[in-house]
């Protein structure tokens, strides 16, 4: 018999993520330091899992466990362990906007699974939590891809060979690689952003995209910033999705003019990101992109961060 858990309550933070990373549609993503979501889990005398409080969601999210990404992930984990009747309460504190392209639903799912796993004595490793967090995110948009869930859970840069098999690998992070992320205050639903993508791809575009993805992975592993810069190009999704983001190409020109290695759309958008060599350049790039949006009276938020190598973690 396993020892009784000693924790009565745990609070965790799951970070936002940048998915696709230009040429890695549905197969590449990385974590940033902020924003993110917090989940609190505690034992309860009342049997079963309950969500007792949600903040930061403007009343949009259901407290029903089966209707909430954090709840679905945690319940799936408890069922797997035969502990679905254990009394547990969860609080969800949303610290990032919906439809931002920063993995909001993924962060909640990751935080839900991780918090409950910690509370009950950590029977599973982080990587073993991946399918439960994936089930949570899939409950939100029906898509089953780990490019947000993987890095939010594990941290760093994550490559997904197969989403169906959840065959993933963490890439080494170049020590001076930073991200400049800007979120303009518009909402783009993932479903809409997927519907505008082409259903067929010319072979030359597919070949170019494969080359760029391979080059980006090689550049990351070898800390070759020139190779990284030459490879951050998306010839499939970005040309279609850019029309959903005001002044996208003006923002891209501003980023590159200020030293960005490359610039593209984070996930389904509207957040945009640049990879940069060093914090100073990342700050300059973020400010330049933010100004493009501000000049058209579009409110926006900047997030400048090294690649977050911790992923979800316990906070005090």
pLDDT at 188: 85
**Residue 237 pLDDT > 70, yes or no?**
yes
**pLDDT digit string, tens, across residues 62-74:** 999 999 999 999 9
Q: What is the pLDDT of residue 141?
A: 74
If pLDDT is split at 50, 70 and 90, which confidence band does 6 have?
low
pLDDT at 182: 98
CATH number of 177-306: 3.30.70.890
* Omega of the bond leading into 35 within 30 degrees of 0 (cis): yes
Instruction: Using the predicted structure, report yes or no on whether residue 1 has a pLDDT greater than 60.
Output: no
Question: What is the mean predicted confidence (pLDDT) over 121-126?
Answer: 97
The topology (CATH level 3) of 9-170+309-315 is Ribosomal Protein S5; domain 2 (3.30.230)
Examine the pLDDT at 35 and tell me if it is beyond 80. yes
Sign of the dihedral through C-alpha 242, 133, 28, 166:
negative
What backbone torsions phi and psi does residue 214 show, to the nearest 5 degrees? -60, -40
Which pLDDT score, from 0 to 100, does residue 192 have? 82
Answer yes or no: is pLDDT of 271 > 90.
yes
pLDDT score, position 118: 98
Residue boundaries of the structural domains of the chain: 9-170+309-315, 177-306
Q: Are 284 and 8 in contact (CB under 8 A)?
A: no
* Mean pLDDT for the chain overall: 95
Q: What is the 3-state secondary structure (H, E, C) of 127-146?
A: HHHHHHHHHHHHHHHCCCCC
Nearest Cα neighbor of 73 from 127, 33, 113 is 113
Residue 113 to residue 263: CA distance in whole angstroms: 32
> Annotated active-site positions, please?
137, 190
Mean pLDDT of 90-99: 93
């Amino acid at each position: 018999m396993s020892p009784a858990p000693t924790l009565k309550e745990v609070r965790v933070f799951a970070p936002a993520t940048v998915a696709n990373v230009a040429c890695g549609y549905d197969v590449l993503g990385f974590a940033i330091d902020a924003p993110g979501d917090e989940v609190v889990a505690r034992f309860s005398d009342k049997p079963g899992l309950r969500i007792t409080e949600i903040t930061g969601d403007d009343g949009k999210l259901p407290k029903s466990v089966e209707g909430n990404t954090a709840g679905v992930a945690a319940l799936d984990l408890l069922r797997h362990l035969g502990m679905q009747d254990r009394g547990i309460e969860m609080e969800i504190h949303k610290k990032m906007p919906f439809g931002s392209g920063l993995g909001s639903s993924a962060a909640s799912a990751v935080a839900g699974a991780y918090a409950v796993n910690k509370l009950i004595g950590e029977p599973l490793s982080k990587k073993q939590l991946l399918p439960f967090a994936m089930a949570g995110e899939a409950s939100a948009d029906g898509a089953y891809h780990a490019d947000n869930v993987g890095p939010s859970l594990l941290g760093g840069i994550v490559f997904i060979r197969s989403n169906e098999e959840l065959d993933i690998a963490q890439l080494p992070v170049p020590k001076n690689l930073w991200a400049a992320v800007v979120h303009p205050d518009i909402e783009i639903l993932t479903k809409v952003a997927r519907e505008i993508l082409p259903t067929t791809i010319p072979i030359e575009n597919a070949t170019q995209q494969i080359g760029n993805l391979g080059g980006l992975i090689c550049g990351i592993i070898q800390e070759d910033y020139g190779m990284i810069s030459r490879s951050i190009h998306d010839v499939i999704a970005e040309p279609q999705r850019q029309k959903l983001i005001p002044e996208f190409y003006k923002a891209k020109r501003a980023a590159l003019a200020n030293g960005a290695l490359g610039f593209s759309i984070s996930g389904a958008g509207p957040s945009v990101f640049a990879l940069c060599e060093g914090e100073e350049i990342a700050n300059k790039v973020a400010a330049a992109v933010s100004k493009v949006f501000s000049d058209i009276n579009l409110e926006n938020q900047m997030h400048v961060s090294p690649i977050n190598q911790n992923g979800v973690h316990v906070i005090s």
